[in-house]
Structure formats: structure tokens, C-alpha cells
Amino acid sequence: MAKKIAAVAVDSLVSKQVGETLAGVVHRELEQAILKGALKPGDRLDEQEIAQRYGVSRTPVREAFRLLGANDLVDLRSRQGVIVRKIGVNTLLEMFQVMAELEGLCARLASRRMSAEQMAQMQAVHERLMVSASGVDAGEFDAINMEFHGIIHDAARNVYLAEQTRQLRNRVAPFLRRVTHKPHRFETTIKEHGDIIAALIAHDAERAHAAMRLHVNLLGDDLADFIAAYE
């Protein structure tokens, strides 16, 4: 049986951005709750409960559910309601393989197109990540890591590629966290990012692609850890 929605602390309307609809607020907050792991695969989203929590009617909640469904983050089931989507391990591994190729292509293009400003920004974010790696706040480390990859996505200067890469990365984020939040993985991430940065600084497209692809794909012990955590 699907689990009831977990309690998620939100400021709802307080965080409403300029021009954002009520449905947009609810969608954004629920999406972040899913991506950060506060809402887990199999959790049920109760329409009435969410409407009460956000102080809105059910209409924007339904629209938010529709948007989450369009991004494959939830399953819209007529009888069971809305369930945070589960994915089979084989499908997930296939998604990681595709994401590794997309991220690798971003790095390849970025090696030729990254501006000096983006290069400096990437290095500054990497330094922040190294500081974070010495702590215990996995959420902070994850957020900074996303910044690092986001800079490379933008530096590829291919809007469609960046959008597709981010969308897939967001889709697998709740599952990727099961591996990346292990203490030893912080150190590995720092080292692999260093290899990526070195390739980008050298404008070596092949090396940048290979380093990023190796960094993102689940291989060896990471693959074994992922399967063990997923079962």
C-alpha cells in the first residue's frame, strides 16, 4: 500500500515569486521535496492535506500534480491518487547511462565554449564543495554539487541539451542520493571534479567528456552500492 504523504515544512505563499501562480508555488515546493528526498518513491500525495497546508483551494493542487506527472515525478492513479513515482532498477541504470552521455557531451562542448568568467565561477564552486565535503551536511554538499554541474551545462551553450540534461538529472536525483550521500563518495566526487576541471582548463574535449562520463555513470562499487540500497 502506498504511504501517506510525509510532513514537509514549507512557507508556501511566503516564498511566492513574482508572477508565479499558486499552482506554480505548490508544484515548485513539492518538486523540491521529491528531489531532496523529503518525499520518497511510494509516498502518497493527499490533495486535501496539501491544500490545507498551503492555504489554497484544491484547484492549484491538482494543477501542480499534473505538472509533476508531466515531468514523470509522480504517477497519477485514479483509485490510489497521486504517488511519488517508483522506477525499476534496470530502468534506473539505463537512465544513468543516458545521463552520463548527456553530461559528457555538456563537458565536451564546455571545453571549447566556456568563458573565463564561467571557469572562475566553476573553480569557486569547487572550492566551496571541498569545504562542504569535510562536514556532515549531505544536503549542502548535494546543492553545491548541483551548482557545479549547472555551470558546465550552461557553458556548453546549447539550451536544449542543458534542459534535457537537467530534466533527467532531476528525475534520478532521489535515487542518486542513495549513493552520493555515503561519506566516502564525497572524497571521490572532489577528485573526479578535479579531473573534469583540469580537462576543461586544458580545453581537452575528449578528456573532458571521458572524465564527466566516468564521474556520472554508476560503475564498480558504486553500482553494487546502488543496487544494494535500492533493494
10-residue stretch averages of pLDDT, the chain, 231 residues long: 44 51 89 80 90 90 90 80 83 88 97 97 96 83 92 98 92 70 77 97 97 82 60 55
Instruction: Give strand pairing partners of 77.
Output: 81
Say yes or no: 110 and 222 in one domain.
yes
Q: Which helix (H) or strand (E) covers residue 211, if one does?
A: helix 205-216
What's the CA gap between 1 and 89, in Å, rounded? Answer: 20
Q: Are 60 and 26 in contact (CB under 8 A)?
A: yes
Assign residue 164 the CATH number of its domain.
1.20.120.530
Listed in sequence order, the residues at least 6 apart from 121 whose beta carbon sits closer than 8 Å to its beta carbon are 151
- Which pTM was predicted? 0.71
* Furthest CA-CA distance within the chain: 56
Q: What is the CATH number of the domain that holds 47?
A: 1.10.10.10
**What is the distance between the alpha carbons of residues 83 and 73, in angstroms, rounded to a whole number?**
9
Question: Which pLDDT belongs to residue 104?
Answer: 97
Q: Which pLDDT does position 186 carry in this prediction?
A: 85
- Total tally of structural domains belonging to the chain: 2
Give the pLDDT score at 86. 79
Contact 49, 10 (CB under 8 A): no
Residue 227 is predicted with a pLDDT of 63
Cell of 92: 534506473
Sequence-distant (6+) residues with CB within 8 A of 42 are 2, 3, 83, 84, 86
102 with 152, same domain? yes
| Nearest of 185, 184, 153 to residue 166 by alpha carbon | 153
104 and 124 belong to one structural domain: yes
Look at residue 6 and tell me if it is in a domain: no
| Alpha carbon distance 79, 70 (integer Å) | 19
In a domain, 141, yes or no: yes
Name the residue range of residue 156's domain.
89-230
Give the position of cell 563537458: 107
